[in-house]
Structure 1
């Protein structure tokens, strides 16, 4: 029999002793399993048994749940849960993974995704809501309570009783005999441990913060368009089916499956759900290629340059077929020549410099020629000079902008203007701006952030900085994920 070896471990994260389950080969595609309320990683035990020989599975318990031990004074809110989840991911060395988000796993997982889109290869959503229409009247009543309001704590504590815990499993289920009663019994055991009711009360009174984040998460979905599998028990008393279908607005290519089941659909419908998860992970894996993407044919204009070469090397390292084209290629500004050179590719990266307005002329030529060449995707690597240091005030227009870079920066800014003005183009362009000052030598670390914006991303000290390796990784991420379409984005730490 082919059964996984499941390890049960602890790792220290900022004073929190995080318990987690791990199975599968570490060089296989990784799936981060994020549990819901009022359960813990044990909710995934049977799924781990089903998938743990083929995939690398990580299932942590949050603070206030399961076997994880948090110190006195731990702040129980959803930002803190995401902080610990982020620390857990770093501690176990996971750098690229898909997320299985159930219930509370949605707020935790989406916060991780917004902070580190470069980590996420795909998204499995199972009864994890991110839309206003996905909130039932019962859910709205439960999350209406706020910390400090008279009677609020007493009202939410009713959620932590055995009848409610059991009801979350049985309500909406088609066949309750398929649900193991040990599930709610174990959940209640952990709920009744010392300090847990106070922790869960604080989280319940903070749930409204998740609803406030819905627009942020929806924007992340639209911009990054991650491969997405939506699984939903339609009898869910908290999150009705409308919440499942709403994902298709922001990720139209998402795969959606609904089940005659309730909130804990996995507990009842594992035989149907596990194969769907396996097929989804297989598609992400690209037949075992690293990086979790299908092999793309990418032409890099300017591959002999500093940034273009870094992008070409990063794409090749991920297994893509790269056509390197010279940095000073004058044909980049000739639409007819572009058609002949770039036809047959899945994407084009343009990282160009040159006199005689080569950069904006190349932008115009690519917009004209790529549809004729049958190439939909364009990633234009521009400069940081067109970023704004104040509303409407670009670095390139400031009096102290370095004069030796002024011509190039103005050309790059004009290229961005041309792309933005092409409102009727079929080309799915993106424009990548590095930090205006601190693009520094260095390899990829995977710790960068990328966002669609016109101002620099800065760290806690107000500095916008990234290595060439990480900026190249952000460019290839955008190509693989189809993210930031018709948008300018920047990347930094």
Structure 2
């Protein structure tokens, strides 16, 4: 019987003048795992993972500028922002629309930048010794990243990082059995480090590393808001990134799955047989999310109907509820009809301040019904055209929409003020350009009080993309207790 070894492609793609090398394997239609390597390595560090998983999943691993086989022009200015720019261009050049992200070491700051810019792309995270918390930094790490561009002696101080002794030590240091760590990795890494121009590139990145630590609060907020499915894999004997950094992810993603291994920084080198099955199981669960039981109040309306159809299309069980099923402002009636559901979508409008009254009734009813999640379809009028200045309060706001917009704004105020166990999300569409149309998948979502816009400054979204973003939030449990909005990228 033939062994199920994958065919691995080795290709280049141009990204704004950078000739990016990448490895790819697996069926084109399979779930995608984008693998981001660390320092001082490149995509070759994932070769065993390609053999283990490349027959079942689509694996793609690029080399950053300044690493591996990727070729950057002499004019390229190395920083972590610049690496993320190239990665974002790489994802676009390959047409990747949805993928799980594997972040190791440098892959953390590069990958978190991409995730914060384009959260709609990321279906889940595998974090392996990629730190995002101050408590995860060892004294050695703090000393190493203290050097900054322009400081006297800083460039000279980081030069030992690029020697063979340190490169080999990153692989073998902390390993339970160094005989299980193949010498090929650190030997090849040193070859690339010694190429012309590479020492200068790595020096620039070493002196820019402090910028990553400064962004830790931003990435932690992203984790709290988006709550991506998260698998944390960590070599507990890493001299740079401590196990406390692995455990800290649970603070922002309570459902994070954390595994510590008796090895060092390059955990895959020694523990691939234990790690690969965990990744495969994680990707399988991402591909087949648990079906939800979703009740939709206002399913006969435009947006409620769109959300209900999108949820059904994804395999969730939807209960459409109208006035005949329950009074949306009756706490007892809601508690009875909503029991047994995992989430509720409220897409309501009506006279006598129905919308804020329904918000209050739902906050009281859902804990009694045992329903933890509420997605409240709000209005764009409560968004702000300037800090502290809402569209609904503008002199030119259309009179025919004024009452509804004020009611939706009152509902948002009520949700924000509530001391409640309900994990509510209030979803505002663009204030003007919510247009009928199918799902395109090219949109972004953020927790903000200002409209999102595309490159032309237009805040526009199709109803299909609105529904898709709403179901994304329900599936992922993202943006708890926050108002969000969305807009098309184009």
Query: Which TM-score band applies after superposition, normalised by the shorter structure?
Result: over 0.9
Q: Whole-Å Cα distance in 2 between the matches of residues 285 and 8 of structure 1?
A: 26
Per the alignment, in what secondary structure is the counterpart of residue 99 of structure 1? strand
Partner residue, 2:427: 432
Q: Whole-Å Cα distance in 2 between the matches of residues 441 and 78 of structure 1?
A: 39
Partner residue, 1:201: 203
1:95 matched to 2:97: yes
Given that 2:22 and 2:63 are in contact with CA atoms closer than 8 Å, whether structure 1 keeps it comes out as: yes
Displacement after TM superposition at 1:402 (Å): 1.2
Using the TM superposition, name which of 198-207 and 454-463 deviates more: 454-463
Q: Whole-Å Cα distance in 1 between the matches of residues 377 and 256 of structure 2?
A: 29
Q: Whole-Å Cα distance in 1 between the matches of residues 121 and 193 of structure 2?
A: 32
1:217 matched to 2:213: no
Partner residue, 1:171: 173
Partner residue, 2:403: 407
Per the alignment, in what secondary structure is the counterpart of residue 331 of structure 1? coil
Residue 467 and residue 411 in structure 1: after superposition, are their counterparts in 2 closer, same or farther (change >3 A)? same
Instruction: Point out where structure 2 has 5 or more consecutive residues left out of the alignment.
Output: none
Q: Whole-Å Cα distance in 1 between the matches of residues 447 and 297 of structure 2?
A: 23
Residue 330 and residue 401 in structure 1: after superposition, are their counterparts in 2 closer, same or farther (change >3 A)? farther
Displacement after TM superposition at 1:326 (Å): 4.2
Partner residue, 2:335: 339
1:490 matched to 2:472: no
1:262 matched to 2:264: yes
Displacement after TM superposition at 1:138 (Å): 1.5
Using the TM superposition, name which of 357-366 and 37-46 deviates more: 357-366
Using the TM superposition, name which of 219-228 and 465-474 deviates more: 465-474
Q: Whole-Å Cα distance in 2 between the matches of residues 462 and 28 of structure 1?
A: 35
Displacement after TM superposition at 1:11 (Å): 1.7
Q: Whole-Å Cα distance in 1 between the matches of residues 330 and 403 of structure 2?
A: 21
1:418 matched to 2:420: no
Partner residue, 1:67: 69
Q: Whole-Å Cα distance in 1 between the matches of residues 59 and 242 of structure 2?
A: 28
Q: Whole-Å Cα distance in 1 between the matches of residues 87 and 202 of structure 2?
A: 17
Residue 299 and residue 330 in structure 1: after superposition, are their counterparts in 2 closer, same or farther (change >3 A)? closer
Partner residue, 2:235: 233
Q: Deviations over 1:278-315 (max 9, x none)?
A: 121122222xxxxxx22111122222222222222222
For residues 174-323 of structure 1, what are the structure 2 equivalents within 5 Å?
A: 174-286=176-288, 293-323=289-319
Residue 450 and residue 328 in structure 1: after superposition, are their counterparts in 2 closer, same or farther (change >3 A)? farther
Partner residue, 2:361: 365
Q: Whole-Å Cα distance in 1 between the matches of residues 17 and 400 of structure 2?
A: 50
Q: Deviations over 1:90-117 (max 9, x none)?
A: 2222222111110001001111111122
Candidates 420, 444, 450, aligned match of 1:449: 444
Given that 2:148 and 2:208 are in contact with CA atoms closer than 8 Å, whether structure 1 keeps it comes out as: yes
Displacement after TM superposition at 1:327 (Å): 8.2
Partner residue, 1:111: 113
For residues 47-62 of structure 1, what are the structure 2 equivalents within 5 Å?
A: 47-62=49-64
Given that 1:304 and 1:327 are in contact with CA atoms closer than 8 Å, whether structure 2 keeps it comes out as: no
**What's the TM-score once normalised by structure 1's chain length?**
0.95
Displacement after TM superposition at 1:460 (Å): 4.0
Partner residue, 1:81: 83
Displacement after TM superposition at 1:82 (Å): 1.1
Residue 62 and residue 139 in structure 1: after superposition, are their counterparts in 2 closer, same or farther (change >3 A)? same
Per the alignment, in what secondary structure is the counterpart of residue 430 of structure 1? strand
Displacement after TM superposition at 1:446 (Å): 2.4
Partner residue, 2:142: 140
Using the TM superposition, name which of 298-307 and 33-42 deviates more: 298-307
Given that 2:129 and 2:233 are in contact with CA atoms closer than 8 Å, whether structure 1 keeps it comes out as: yes
Displacement after TM superposition at 1:75 (Å): 2.1
Q: Deviations over 1:121-179 (max 9, x none)?
A: 11111100001111112111221111122222222222111111111111111111111
Partner residue, 1:290: none
Displacement after TM superposition at 1:356 (Å): 2.0
Instruction: Point out where structure 1 has 5 or more consecutive residues left out of the alignment.
Output: 287-292
Candidates 381, 386, 399, aligned match of 1:385: 381
Using the TM superposition, name which of 130-139 and 10-19 deviates more: 10-19
Residue 267 and residue 333 in structure 1: after superposition, are their counterparts in 2 closer, same or farther (change >3 A)? same
Q: Whole-Å Cα distance in 2 between the matches of residues 60 and 233 of structure 1?
A: 23
Displacement after TM superposition at 1:329 (Å): 7.3
Q: Whole-Å Cα distance in 1 between the matches of residues 321 and 63 of structure 2?
A: 49
Q: Whole-Å Cα distance in 1 between the matches of residues 324 and 460 of structure 2?
A: 27
Displacement after TM superposition at 1:73 (Å): 1.0
Given that 2:326 and 2:333 are in contact with CA atoms closer than 8 Å, whether structure 1 keeps it comes out as: no
1:41 matched to 2:43: yes
Per the alignment, in what secondary structure is the counterpart of residue 108 of structure 1? helix
**What's the TM-score once normalised by structure 2's chain length?**
0.95
Q: Whole-Å Cα distance in 2 between the matches of residues 275 and 403 of structure 1?
A: 59
Q: Deviations over 1:171-213 (max 9, x none)?
A: 1111111111011111111111222111111111111110111
Displacement after TM superposition at 1:444 (Å): 2.5
Q: Whole-Å Cα distance in 2 between the matches of residues 474 and 389 of structure 1?
A: 22
Displacement after TM superposition at 1:57 (Å): 0.9
Residue 394 and residue 210 in structure 1: after superposition, are their counterparts in 2 closer, same or farther (change >3 A)? same
